[in-house]
Structure 1
Amino acid sequence: MTGPAPAPPGRPGPTGRARPLEVVTPGYGGGNLAGVLPSSLAVLGVPGAVDRLGLFAELPGVRRIAVLLVDGLGWYQIPTAAPYAPTLTGLTAAAGRPLTCGFPSTTPTSLVTLGTGTAPGTHGVLGFTLRIPGTDRVLNHIEWAADDPHPLRWQPVPTQLERARAAGVAVTAVSRPEFGGTGLTLAANRGGDYRGAAGVDAVAATMLAALTAGSGPTLVSGYHPDVDRHGHLSGVDSLPWRVAVTEVDALLARLVDGLPPDAALLVTADHGQLNVPAGHRFDLDTDPRLTDGVRVVAGEPRVRYLHVAPGAAADVTAAWSGVLGAAARVLSREEAVATGWFGPVPEEHRERIGDVVVVCNDTYAVLASRSEPPTVSRLVGFHGADTATEMTVPLLVVRG
């Protein structure tokens, strides 16, 4: 690993106005991704739903809401996307505001935060991969079979889709066909009729068909993954990333054009993304100082959870702090929970967090070249940590 050490993180800045690599806090009490669906339900008249984002005043008379989550399209990526996305740019200027996602700033955590309307500590999906307590097994939430562990045990919080359906709202979830019935889908989106759709044309057509199918209150939740995928594989602002952004722009245009007069479209994301240069990559699997005393490694390259041998936590903390220096913050589980990153964490979820938590600063990452799939080490774009670039996502609100 080479390259200059980054400056220490600054104080948390106002959402959307912080410097790109400045640390921001999740803000669970206000403008956070967790408020999108509860606020939508309040607009639709669901009893007890709390309008945390002030949407009710913006959307009088709305009886149908479509919520589209574009994976990887952070607030700080929108200026980069602007030359290829005129619809996105116009909507952001006219009706856009920044929110924070939850921590870690990663897809499984954010999808369940959106779906349940709660902070990660409450719903328990506290990272991309997590050690299953009492075992040395690591659960990859993206590859989660529906019964291993069972979603209702691993994530027991009712979803906002379930709440909407119980109140008489017609509810549909639209995502890729292969995601239907997976553990992550059941954890985040149970309660809605699932409709598989691959590609922007199918997503647009399926969301609009569900939005206009009936005459009563309607909620449609949609998901599109390609901006994130190409950011990972080729980097933010690469040619494949630009093509993916162009396709998302066409998707937004179709949805806006097809909105009924009594409908609204909300567009958001699960996290932002940044490119990690070759000189800013540590590899824990090639440095014995980083493996000594560590039993299980979970999390992802920007946020590592280290489960250590009995009595080894202090030595592991000292070793990782010495090797990474200013490239990361190395905390105990208790210190990490006390930061408020996860919101309140009940006792039954605490052991899912590592004994030692490593959060990368600047554009650094900690790879595991032998114990994780080799494709991870070849990625260009990453996310997961608490920089403004990773944590800040858009909310675009469009009336029919």
Structure 2
Amino acid sequence: MIESTAWDPHPEPLAVASAPCPEYGSGSLADLLPTLAAGMAVPGMTAALGELTPADRNCVFLIDGLGWEQLRAHPEDAPFMASLLAGSRGGTGRPITAGYPATTATSLASIGTGRPPGEHGLPGYTVRDPATGALMNQLRWQPWTPPQVWQPYPTVFQLAHQAGVHAAQVSSPTFENTPLTRVALSGGTFLGRLTGEDRMDLAAEQLAAGDRSLVYTYYAELDGAGHRYGVDSDTWRGQLMYVDRLVQRLAEQLPPRSALYVTADHGMIDVPFDERHRIDFDEDWELRAGVALLGGEGRARHVYAVPGAAADVLACWREVLGEQFWVASREEAIAAGWFGPRVDERVHDRIGDVLAAARDDVLIIASEREPKESAMVGNHGSMTPAEQLVPLLEVRS
């Protein structure tokens, strides 16, 4: 798993080489849908997760913010999902890696396109648009950018639909026409439902609607509870209990010849509210020196230097942040495979001149520029197991 990931053999600074790279091509979110589609004979798909037995009808239920470590820590709150873990009676569930950064927009694009971030081109929460020089929020799609220019690859749902597979997404009506849905999850039919129960029931119906079916459904509120209250709060645990019942509800309705896969886009870690754990970029003149734009998020920063200052910014950030962060130049991070085995040319300059990925329970906040994000209890984005490992649970009928 993530602790034993191999690295590119080219010499790199120790801080970069010690970062555990996501398991692209063998055990990441980007490998799930292509594996399922390959099992349904969709052309061009590769079964990288070869241990998954093909099924005629496949459903992926993505629970926003449900990390593997958080699930393992609360089996009493999620008894049904806990019963699906390897080591439980009949359970085969194991962790896979989200991809870097471990954040929603990046992960949804990875799962929907079947491609790592370096290819699909959503390599962070906010990244610089090389065409305008402005930060682009890829979750909220602000400022607006033509979606198909930003992410031109077809989704697995589109390819499956073209191959005669019944493809459907069942989610909140809010997401139906968003640019992120369009570039990451479109293809076939979108069906909006407000409640989790209605989504589970409709997902089961959509599975039965075709001889070959590929259905995706989604639940966001666990992630929101973690950001606001933390991943061991009563509110978060209440959401975990609820989502466990949703998984069981869907599992009990699976039509014949079906497989349900429960996964997530990232895990989460709580960060204490003090100056040692929350380093404020807006108050730190050393970190600000030579920086034109600060992108990404607290635990996975993209740093864009003023022209000619990239080397100085890299040296400064390494010195100031010490062993609390993995700090890499753009080229070092690309060579190390943080964004996948290749980075498309159109994506290259979206990545920061300098990358800072948290290895301890710390953040680089920006209290003035990002007041809401800086006030969150639970955070994610980096390559630690708590953020990077997500469950892959399986139920078959």
- TM-score of the aligned structures, taking structure 1 as reference length: 0.91
> 1:233 is matched with which residue: 228, 231, 237?
228
The residue identity in structure 1 corresponding to 2:230 is G
Q: Is the 8 A contact 1:234 1:240 kept in 2?
A: yes
Residue correspondence of structure 1 range 210-289 to structure 2 within 5 A: 210-212=206-208, 214-279=209-274, 280-289=277-286
1:13 paired to 2:8 = no
Q: Is the 8 A contact 1:76 1:389 kept in 2?
A: yes
Specify the alignment match of 1:298 in structure 2. Answer: 295
Q: Is the 8 A contact 1:70 1:225 kept in 2?
A: yes
Q: Is the 8 A contact 1:173 1:195 kept in 2?
A: yes
TM superposition shift of 1:80: 2.1
Distance 1:316 1:293 in 2: 6
1:158 paired to 2:161 = no
TM superposition shift of 1:199: 2.9
1:333 paired to 2:330 = yes
Structure 2 SS opposite 1:202: helix
Specify the alignment match of 1:392 in structure 2. Answer: 389
Residues 141-161 of structure 1: CA deviation (Å, up to 9, x unaligned): 22116x921111000111100
Structure 1 SS opposite 2:227: helix
Specify the alignment match of 1:124 in structure 2. Answer: 121
Unmatched segments (≥5 aa) in structure 1: 1-10, 16-21
Distance 1:118 1:215 in 2: 26
Q: 1:318 and 1:239, CA in 2 relative to 1: closer, same or farther beyond 3 A?
A: same
TM superposition shift of 1:190: 1.6
The residue identity in structure 1 corresponding to 2:237 is R
The residue identity in structure 1 corresponding to 2:241 is T
TM superposition shift of 1:55: 4.9
The residue identity in structure 1 corresponding to 2:213 is T
The residue identity in structure 2 corresponding to 1:36 is L
When the two structures are aligned, how many residues end up with a matched partner? Answer: 378
Q: Is the 8 A contact 1:69 1:222 kept in 2?
A: yes
Q: Is the 8 A contact 1:44 1:63 kept in 2?
A: yes
Specify the alignment match of 2:9 in structure 1. Answer: none
Specify the alignment match of 2:368 in structure 1. Answer: 370
Residue correspondence of structure 1 range 1-400 to structure 2 within 5 A: 13-14=3-4, 23-55=19-51, 58-59=53-54, 62-92=55-85, 93=88, 94-144=91-141, 148-212=144-208, 214-279=209-274, 280-343=277-340, 344-372=342-370, 374-400=371-397
TM superposition shift of 1:14: 4.0
Structure 1 SS opposite 2:84: helix
Task: Indicate the percent of aligned positions where both proteins have the same amino acid.
Answer: 43
Distance 2:332 2:43 in 1: 38
Unmatched segments (≥5 aa) in structure 2: 6-17
Structure 1 SS opposite 2:322: helix
Q: Is the 8 A contact 1:85 1:245 kept in 2?
A: yes
Distance 1:338 1:138 in 2: 24
Residues 345-365 of structure 1: CA deviation (Å, up to 9, x unaligned): 122211001111111111111
Q: Is the 8 A contact 2:166 2:210 kept in 1?
A: no
Q: Is the 8 A contact 2:170 2:217 kept in 1?
A: yes
Q: Is the 8 A contact 1:80 1:237 kept in 2?
A: no
Q: 1:123 and 1:210, CA in 2 relative to 1: closer, same or farther beyond 3 A?
A: same
Specify the alignment match of 2:11 in structure 1. Answer: none
The residue identity in structure 1 corresponding to 2:359 is N
Distance 2:21 2:317 in 1: 24
Residues 62-88 of structure 1: CA deviation (Å, up to 9, x unaligned): 321111111111111112221111101
* Runs of 4+ with >6 A deviation: none
Residues 41-70 of structure 1: CA deviation (Å, up to 9, x unaligned): 1222223322111255x34xx321111111
TM superposition shift of 1:332: 1.3
TM superposition shift of 1:134: 3.4
Specify the alignment match of 1:6 in structure 2. Answer: none
The residue identity in structure 2 corresponding to 1:339 is A
Query: RMSD value over aligned CA atoms?
Result: 1.7
Q: Is the 8 A contact 2:2 2:23 kept in 1?
A: no
Q: Is the 8 A contact 1:116 1:123 kept in 2?
A: yes
Residues 75-126 of structure 1: CA deviation (Å, up to 9, x unaligned): 1111222111110111123120111111111111110100011111011110
The residue identity in structure 1 corresponding to 2:119 is T
Q: 1:371 and 1:215, CA in 2 relative to 1: closer, same or farther beyond 3 A?
A: closer
Distance 1:360 1:332 in 2: 15
Distance 2:210 2:187 in 1: 20
Distance 2:353 2:20 in 1: 23
